[in-house]
Amino acid sequence: MIKINDNYLKLPGSYLFSTIAKKVSAYQAEHPEAEIIRMGIGDVTLPLAPQILKALHEAVDEMGDKETFKGYAPDLGYRFLRETIAREDYQARGCKVDADEIFISDGAKCDCGNIQELFAADAKIAVCDPVYPVYVDSNVMAGRTGVYDPVTETWSDVIYLPCTMDNDFFPELPKETPDLIYLCNPCNPTGTTWTKEQLKVWVDYANAHDAVILYDAAYEAYITTPEVPHSIYEVERARTCAIEFRSFSKNAGFTGVRLGFTVIPTDLKSGDASLHDMWARRHGTKYNGAPYIQQKAGLAVYSEEGKKEIKEQVAYYMRNARTLREGLEAMGYKVVGGVDSPYVWLHTGEMTSWEFFDHLLDKAHVVGTPGSGFGPSGEHYFRLTGFGSYEATQKAVERIKGLV
């Protein structure tokens, strides 16, 4: 018999968004006349900004010229992009992050999943609950999560940090000490944010307990509240305890282009072992570098015209989120998010998350994401995204209003 990694067999069902896609496809097949508005998956819908397109075309032309052709990219990323990121995203905000601490990749999702390879098989993880499914699922695949309880929908070796309206979506420090702490700010799925002072609580805790914070900042471009940091490295002493993940997908529409990066400070160590050096070794062994074409497009994001165009796209999606939030609040729903995030998180009342999903799909032909798919504390919550068109967003609000 073939020897397999049977940890994969422990995963319950299929990936959350695959399940949603199958349910929607089945409903559409039974109701071909239904005009379905999809507000479930966090995929962008606006076309790439002009400056990015220009850079892509230029890069393609370069690849067709012997003098400017590029083969394998440097495994850690081209210097021109890493230096620009360090200057624009970090040093401009007072963060001590150097270009050599930035690792270019094909997206934050892959890095969030792959980073756990650096840590021991028995490392204890703590996750906010609800949480982006990749954090837990990738650790299940690594055999780090213990036994799954289908009744509570929890894993025996995972420390869950409930984030609900009862605690204003800011979790208590765990009683059991974790080795790895996953934080996402702005949070996917709740759309809520934490201030610099709130994050300092976690940075101080991680340093005091020799834990590592795995910090997902994929939605930092949507932050407008001054007290909310764009990077965890704005918090003092974060360099000795935190790894940060960034993405070009949501700020610049690269969901189909694929580009992201991870920051690992050289200060982050386990004894004499440098996590920066370990990730560099892993990157060099398992990754051949993000393509030159994508990296040149990424550079265009930081041009003056590129910044302006990206800012306009972010504002478009945030208008959608505001429309959702204000519309749902007017209907009497309890809602958070939609201020520093494109996600709106609403309470479903007596309905379970999946009951609300079916109700919304059948009666309003609107698709969202059941909160329970993000963890047990997501039950009786529901996520809607502002990444659609403004017209579809307005129409969705009107349809939901008709259900109240």
- CA distances 102 to 242, 272, 296, Å, are 13, 21, 16
Q: What count of other Cβ atoms lies within 10 Å of the Cβ of residue 2?
A: 3
Q: pLDDT for 120-161, tens place per residue?
A: 999 999 999 999 999 999 999 999 999 999 999 999 999 999
Average model confidence (pLDDT) across the chain: 96
pTM: 0.96
pLDDT recorded at residue 349 = 95
How many other CB atoms are there within 10 angstroms of residue 18's CB atom?
10
Identify the pLDDT of residue 16.
82
Measured CA to CA in angstroms, residue 112 lies from 133, 215, 247, 279 at distances of: 11, 9, 11, 12
* pLDDT 10s digits, 270-327: 999 999 999 999 999 999 999 999 999 999 999 999 999 999 999 999 999 999 999 9
Share of the chain above pLDDT 90, in %: 96
pLDDT band at 26 (very low <50, low <70, confident <90, very high): very high
3 state DSSP class of 160: strand
Q: What is the pLDDT of residues 150-190, one digit of tens each?
A: 999 999 999 999 999 999 999 999 999 999 999 999 999 99
- 226-251 mean pLDDT: 97
Band (pLDDT 50/70/90 cuts) for residue 42 is: confident
pLDDT band at 222, cuts 50/70/90?
A: very high
pLDDT at 182: 98
Residue 308 sits at φ, ψ, to 5 deg, of -65, -45
Distance in angstroms (rounded) separating the CA atoms of residues 254 and 44: 8
For 266, the 3-state DSSP assignment is coil
4 residue type, one letter: I
Residue 13 confidence (pLDDT):
75
The reported pLDDT for the residue numbered 15 is 73
Whether 111 has a pLDDT exceeding 80, the answer reads: yes
pLDDT at 204: 98
pLDDT at res. 236 = 97
| Per-residue confidence (pLDDT) for residue 41, from 0 to 100 | 84
- Per-residue pLDDT, averaged over 196-200, amounts to 98
